[in-house]
Structures are given as C-alpha cells and as structure tokens.
Structure 1
C-alpha cells in the first residue's frame, strides 16, 4: 500500500518563513518517506499511514515559532497501490501534455 499526503507546515509570522519551512522539510529525512516540495506544501509518500502521521508530526514540531499552522491531506487508496507520480501521469495522459502553463 502507498499512502500519499499533502503536508503544509508554516509558522504564523510576518517575515519570511523559508528557514522554518526548511526545518520542517528537513525533519522528513528521519523517516522512510519520499517527498517533493512545491510552493504550496510538500507531497509525501509512505508505505503506511502511521509513517505519514509520524513524519508530519516531526515536521510540525521542527518549526520554532510561537504559533504553527499545519495542514495534512491524506489519500489512502487501499484497493491498489498508486504512487503520486502515477496520479500526475494519469492527468497528463488525459490532457495529452504536461499540466503546466508558462506565464
């Protein structure tokens, strides 16, 4: 089974969040997860839900701020294994191209 999640961890501050977000992403390296960071969060893949929760909790705790906002969206497809890249590939197949638009 593969569990895919979107994790967003951010301090509630006015200044740049980059260093604290980097600390949250760095905390994921202590877990058996694959991840890819994007401008809105980090997509995480693991073999089980417990690993997702543990990694997300560690990322949340890694942020040093008085207030931290964390959002975790989980896709736990149990019928068969489907990796994050395969989900993107399916959309690209339907579009007949990469789902990107340059500005």
Structure 2
C-alpha cells in the first residue's frame, strides 16, 4: 500500500449576496490566498486547480473559504473535488498529457 502523496484538487469559492454580479475582485482575493501555500495553483475560467500534498490543499481550502468573510462577505459556498492516486505520481500536466496523447 502506498503512502499518501500529492493530490489534484479543484476548488470553487463563491461569495453570495454581493452588491454586484461581478465577482472577479473576490476571485482575485481567493487566488492571492491560495498562492500563499506550498501548492501549484492554476486559475481557470470556472475554477482553480491545485496540486500538492493533501493536508496543504485542505489548509489552503479553509483559508480561501474564510478570506471572503474577512472581506465583509456574509455568506460563502465552497466546493472541493480531490483526485488522489496511490499507485503512481499524479500531476496536473500528466493528467492532461495522458488525454492529449490519445487524441
């Protein structure tokens, strides 16, 4: 049995009840928070993908969720998906490459 290793995670943090339909300033705050952690961070148009140790991903998720409350938001929803393999190394680039090789 392999030890716990690196994971790939997708996080979406959404502020609710803001005064504007635009949330880019809140997304920027979440990104600044995530980048303080020892993770590979990739912003996408609909979410952020993280690569790193599971505990670091979970700590970063908690900080990202809480950072919007610190900016005055009164309600926040956070979704997190985690992909973990214990049989081989898992990376964002490796997952994409595996599919592109089959195209």
- Provide the TM-score with structure 2 as the length reference: 0.85
Kindly provide the CA deviation profile for residues 36-94 of structure 1, in whole angstroms up to 9, marking residues without a partner as x. 00011000001x21101001111111113111111000001111112011100111111
Match among 5, 12, 16 for residue 9 of structure 2: 5
Distance 2:86 2:31 in 1: 26
Distance 1:30 1:39 in 2: 21
Deviation at 1:15, TM superposition (A): 2.1
How many residues end up aligned between the 2 structures? 94
CA RMSD after TM alignment: 1.1
Contact 2:13/2:76, CA 8 A, preserved across alignment: yes
**Structure 2: runs of 5 or more not aligned:** none
What is the match of residue 21 of structure 1?
Answer: 27
What is the match of residue 67 of structure 1?
Answer: 75
What is the match of residue 58 of structure 1?
Answer: 63
Distance 2:46 2:21 in 1: 17
**Structure 1: runs of 5 or more not aligned:** 96-103
Distance 1:88 1:33 in 2: 18
List, as ranges, runs of 4+ consecutive aligned residues in structure 1 with deviation greater than 2 Å: none
Contact 2:84/2:90, CA 8 A, preserved across alignment: no
Q: Does 1:91 align with 2:99?
A: yes
Distance 1:79 1:12 in 2: 39
